[in-house]
Amino acid sequence: MPRDIRAIERLMIFIDGSNLYHSLKSQFGHADLKFEALCHKITQDRRLVRIYYYNAPVDQAKEAEHYQEQQRFFQELRRIPYLEVRLGRLIYRSWPAEPPYEKGIDVMMTTDILLHSFRDTYDTMVMVGGDTDLADALQAVKDMGRHVEVALFGGPWTSQRLRDVADKVVRIDGNFLKGCWK
């Protein structure tokens, strides 16, 4: 695509925060990213409309130390221009024997992705995360004439449904993350 056309291409980024965090921890042993640098790398020379970051806050009564750390992180994210933090919830069933699980994140992401596509807010969307449950929503976005990119960890064998539906796959690896670490 010629450079002048890319500059007017409207881009929105949708980040599955939990998926990103766990992928970074498993691949690199830490997750201390400069989110502004990561989003700038994803955006390239396109016009950024908005970044949505999805996660679920831990329960302050059950995980007081982690709660404080997470709240500082969310505040740091909220200072990034055009980034909105969208929070679901964690369900603690058999805590502490079993870890809590997220509720509402996939639906929130799907709703935002489709709503902004219907409203013609973006030309291209990038989903950062490997949740294949969102593949049908991404296909619907493509069917509306939008471009769909997914930013994934791992080799070509990971998240196959997302790879199949995406117009473009961005591989997040050590090379891609150069300059994005704190």
Is residue 150 predicted with pLDDT exceeding 90? Answer: yes
Please write the tens of the pLDDT for every residue from 65-88: 999 999 999 999 999 999 999 999
Mean pLDDT of 35-64: 96
Beta bridge partners of 41: none
Please name the residue that has the structure tokens 């902004």. 116
What would the mean pLDDT of 137-153 be, rounded to a whole number? 97
- Give me the amino acid identity at 175: N
Sheet hosting strand 168-171, strand order edge to edge: 83-87, 47-55, 10-16, 124-128, 147-152, 168-171
Q: What is the pLDDT of residues 85-107, one digit of tens each?
A: 999 999 999 999 999 999 999 99
- Evaluate whether 124 touches 147 at the Cβ level (below 8 Å): yes
What does the alpha-carbon distance between residue 64 and residue 51 come to, in Å, rounded to a whole number? 28
Claim: this prediction has a pTM higher than 0.75: yes
User: pLDDT category, 3, cuts 50, 70, 90?
Assistant: low
3-state secondary structure the chain: CCHHHHHHCEEEEEEEHHHHHHHHHHHHCCCCECHHHHHHHHHCCCEEEEEEEEECCCCCCCCHHHHHHHHHHHHHHHCCCCEEEEECEEECCCCCCCCCEEECHHHHHHHHHHHHHHCCCCCEEEEECCCHHHHHHHHHHHHCCCEEEEEECCCCCCCHHHHHHCCEEEECCCCCCCCCEC
Q: pLDDT value at position 158? A: 81
Residue 4 has pLDDT above 90, yes or no: no
What is the set of domains in the chain, with CATH numbers?
3-171 (3.40.50.1010)
